[in-house]
A and B are shown apart, each in its own frame.
Chain A
Amino acid sequence: MSKSISRITRRRFVAGAGALGLGAAGALGAPRILRAQGGKITVLNWQGYGTDEAWALEAFNKATGIEVVHDYFNSEPEMITKLRTNPGAYDVVLTNSAWNGVASAEGLIQPVDTAQISHFNDLNPSLRDSALLAKDGKVYGLSWVWGMTAIAYNTEKVSPAPVSVEVLWDPKLAKRISLRDDAIEAVSYGAIATGQDMNHPADLAKVKERLLALKPQIATLWSSEDEWNKLFQSGTFDVAVYWSGSAARSKTNFKLPVGYFVPNEGGIGWFDGLAVAANAPNSDGAHRFIDYMVDPTFYVEWATKVGAPASANTKANEQLPAEDVGRQIHADQAAIERLQFMAPLSDEERQAFSDLWTEVKAEFAK
């Protein structure tokens, strides 16, 4: 990236961030002055995942008079369960590329009225128009953020910089590797390493064999971002599968020597959509909130203040400062093309992956 572009970007960013109070109000309020003001919406999301940032809710409330309350889930099946058991309780719900189809097939979410989304045309078309967030040609989840689940490594201990997924099986890194304790991620990487379709690997026996070969490599398994940072900092592992947005946070906020790459063989890509729940009590408010969530003003502040995955709004990403770690991680076009995106799995596939991972872990424990 040339210096002049980066300077412009930075200036635009400063202007954007500085004008948040009034600017956000203007951006949100002006085009829809005729709409009803106030009310309440309920958002169902992971805790601490963007939608519940206090400063953002304040700005949104200032602009629209809408009060935002949250409910959280700890796993996607829980999200589906909450939608099933509490119809009419939620307005906005986070659904990712693997679960949006499940929710729309069951009639738990309704189509997003894209005419109400002022930033619709700025969204990356390959995410915005993805079949994974649509049903019958209608958008059921407005693409919000995307990210990668690729490989992070300790730049002070691992050199040269790894480029292949084979680093996980490198005998020199015995007891220095970590994976997330997650059946789908583990099977996906087993499939990538054996050159198979990550979502529907044809030869699960091969995947299992590769994962079993990790036994001498694994230091421990991790389960949360916080745990990952602690383990990395205490030197428990040097190379681990990790989420791209989290890698950016570890580097920016915690100053950890984290390097990040998408293996030559491929990596896991995912994207999250914001959906409107079926029977949403305030569907109008839900649309306005979703529109605010893809607004560059919100995104830039979220990404720079807290750390975020990449926005689906291309204009929002462009407004990040050039030295922003997240921006650098998410801007490598060649790496993005190597990603396979997470698709819905059938119950049988999910069970087969889970059984396989349980068997592998039992072997690890021996």
Chain B
Amino acid sequence: MTVADRRNRGTILALTGPAYLWLTATIFLPLSAMLYCSFLDKSPLVPQPASLTLRHYAAFIEKPVYQQLMLWSLELGAIVTICCLLIGYPAALALAKVIKGRWREAMFLMVVLPFWSNALVRTFSWTMVLRPGGLADQAIHVVAPGAPALNLLYSYPAVVIGLVHSYLPYMILTCYISLQAIDDSVIEAARSLGARSWALFRRVVFPMSLPGVLAGSALIFVPAVGSFMEPRILGGTKGATLGMAVEEQFTVTANWPFGAALSFLMLGAVLLICLVLYPPARKRMEGL
């Protein structure tokens, strides 16, 4: 090993060390504590000694309602991710390749604006927009008087709207970074070789931006699957997710182990999905 190598290694350690230490302390330790908790037969902090059990994982299999909720949560995560991609990608493309200068800055400000408000406030403000006779209805009546009321509040679409609004910036920002890194000369080369717009997008631009798309999708899919606040406030009885059931185990039944088991089953399902989807995506990127 050369001196330069060794110095490099030291630099890498110094640069990444704090982040890893932080991650270990704030994510790994509480998560492992919760994983252990999910195998206990009673909540931690109860004075009686606890013993290990698989009961809570068995309960998930025995009670079909929790499997149903998991399926719904995964479905909701997928729908939200796809909607974010469909709305966010074109916006990122425009920001990276069309809009320039000060306009770009202004657009960025609008993209990150939702991050500046509290998630709960943001969600409640949607209830004012979506409720019958709310802002959305009023706006439609200006354009088309006599149009029927939307009546979106307390429906599944309302949950999707709220979640897409919350997570859209992740998709725009990650896609923007990938798109912006594509050298304009590559695009010019493709054009000079006779690629039309659609072929240019499908065979050059989109594949090269795939890392951003994947990163954005993962950043959105995972929290959307675990969401419980937006489904409750915007979905009313139509929003039911496993996240809400997990919350119930911590606040109502005081059954931490079951809540932890449900969380880890969800985590397992999400990891499984990533595991299945990642290799083909990687192949696609390596083929470039």
Interface of A with B (CB < 8 Å)?
74-75, 77-78, 80-81, 84-85, 106-107, 181-184, 215, 218-221, 223, 234, 236, 347, 350-351, 354-355, 358-359, 361-362, 364-365
In the complex where A80-B254, A219-B154 touch, is A361 in contact with B240 (Cβ < 8 A)? yes
**B226 interface residue (CB < 8 Å to A):** no
Identity of the chain A residue whose Cβ is nearest the Cβ of B250 in the assembled complex: A77
Query: Is the Cβ of B69 less than 8 Å from the Cβ of A362?
Result: yes
Query: Is the Cβ of B63 less than 8 Å from the Cβ of A218?
Result: no
In the complex where A78-B251, A354-B249 touch, is A219 in contact with B236 (Cβ < 8 A)? yes
In the complex where A77-B251, A84-B45, A234-B131 touch, is A355 in contact with B65 (Cβ < 8 A)? yes
Query: Is the Cβ of A354 less than 8 Å from the Cβ of B253?
Result: yes
Bound Cα distance from A80 to B43, whole angstroms: 12
Q: Which of B215-267 contact A (CB under 8 A)?
A: 232, 235-240, 245, 248-255, 258
Query: Which residues on A sit within 8 Å (CB–CB) of B46?
Result: 84, 106
Query: Which residues on B sit within 8 Å (CB–CB) of A354?
Result: 248-249, 252-253, 255
Query: Which residues on A sit within 8 Å (CB–CB) of B280?
Result: none
Query: Is the Cβ of A359 less than 8 Å from the Cβ of B248?
Result: no
Identity of the chain A residue whose Cβ is nearest the Cβ of B241 in the assembled complex: A365
Bound Cα distance from A34 to B70, whole angstroms: 63
Query: Is the Cβ of B254 less than 8 Å from the Cβ of A347?
Result: yes
The 17 sampled A-B contact pairs (Cβ below 8 Å) are: A77-B254, A81-B45, A81-B254, A85-B45, A106-B47, A182-B252, A215-B237, A220-B154, A234-B131, A347-B253, A347-B255, A350-B252, A351-B255, A358-B248, A362-B69, A364-B238, A365-B239
Query: Which residues on B sit within 8 Å (CB–CB) of A107?
Result: 47
Query: Is the Cβ of A183 less than 8 Å from the Cβ of B252?
Result: yes
Identity of the chain A residue whose Cβ is nearest the Cβ of B72 in the assembled complex: A365
Query: Is the Cβ of A77 less than 8 Å from the Cβ of B131?
Result: no
| Most-contacted residue by chain A among B238, B248, B249, B252 (CB, 10 A) | B252
Complex partner residue of A358 from B45, B69, B254, CB under 8 angstroms: B69
Main SS of chain A's interface residues?
helix
Query: Which residues on B sit within 8 Å (CB–CB) of A80?
Result: 254
In the complex where A351-B258, A355-B65 touch, is A365 in contact with B238 (Cβ < 8 A)? yes
Query: Which residues on A sit within 8 Å (CB–CB) of B236?
Result: 218-221
Query: Is the Cβ of A220 less than 8 Å from the Cβ of B69?
Result: no
In the complex where A219-B154, A221-B237, A223-B232 touch, is A350 in contact with B253 (Cβ < 8 A)? yes
Query: Which residues on A sit within 8 Å (CB–CB) of B47?
Result: 84, 106-107
Shortest beta-carbon contacts, A-B, top 3: A220-B236, A77-B254, A365-B240
Complex partner residue of A220 from B72, B237, B251, CB under 8 angstroms: B237
Complex partner residue of B251 from A74, A106, A221, CB under 8 angstroms: A74
Query: Which residues on A sit within 8 Å (CB–CB) of B255?
Result: 347, 350-351, 354
| Most-contacted residue by chain B among A78, A85, A359 (CB, 10 A) | A359
**B68 interface residue (CB < 8 Å to A):** yes
* Min distance, Cβ A315 to any Cβ of chain B, angstroms: 36
Bound Cα distance from A355 to B258, whole angstroms: 11
Query: Is the Cβ of A75 less than 8 Å from the Cβ of B252?
Result: yes
- Since A223-B232, A364-B237, A364-B238 are in contact, a sample of 12 more A-B pairs with Cβ atoms closer than 8 Å, ordered by chain A residue number, is A77-B252, A80-B254, A106-B46, A107-B47, A181-B232, A221-B232, A236-B131, A351-B253, A354-B249, A354-B252, A358-B66, A358-B69
Identity of the chain A residue whose Cβ is nearest the Cβ of B156 in the assembled complex: A365
* Min distance, Cβ B36 to any Cβ of chain A, angstroms: 17
Query: Which residues on A sit within 8 Å (CB–CB) of B63?
Result: 355, 359
Identity of the chain A residue whose Cβ is nearest the Cβ of B245 in the assembled complex: A358
Bound Cα distance from A354 to B262, whole angstroms: 14
Query: Is the Cβ of B237 less than 8 Å from the Cβ of A365?
Result: yes
Bound Cα distance from A362 to B237, whole angstroms: 8
Query: Is the Cβ of A362 less than 8 Å from the Cβ of B68?
Result: yes
